[in-house]
Amino acid sequence: MRALISRDLADAGIAGLSADRRFATAYNAALQAANMAIACAGYRIMSKVGHHRVSLESTKLVLGKPAHKYADYFETCRRGTGSPQAQLLHQDVRRGGE
C-alpha cells in the first residue's frame, strides 16, 4: 500500500499531466493513506456505495483531531468538481498551491 501511495504522489507531480489528472491521482494517494491508517487500527472499509466517505470519516476516528482538517479537505474533494469548494481546490492546484 505504501508503494501505491508513493507512486501516486510521484505521478501527481508530473508536469505533463492535466491538473485534473494530477488532482485525482493525489486524491487517490490520500484515500489509500486513509485506508492504511484504518487498517493499522484493525478495521477494514468495505467496497460499497459511500466507501470513500466512510474512509475519510473513519480516518478522523482512528487518527484523532489532528487529522480532521485533512479528512474534511478530502471530503470536499470527494463531493466532486461541481461544488464551489471543489472548484476553489482545483483552481489552487492549477496555480501550484498546497
Is the pTM value of this prediction over 0.85? no
The residue ranges of the chain whose pLDDT is under 70 are 80-98
What pLDDT is stored for residue 65 in this prediction? 94
What pLDDT is stored for residue 88 in this prediction? 56
What pLDDT is stored for residue 98 in this prediction? 47
pLDDT digits (tens, 9 = 90+) for 55-80: 888 889 899 999 999 888 888 887 76
The per-residue DSSP string of the chain comes to -HHHHHHHHHHHT-TTS-HHHHHHHHHHHHHHHHHHHHHHTT----SSTTHHHHHHHHHHHHH-GGGHHHHHHHHHHHT-TTSHHHHHHHHHHHHT--
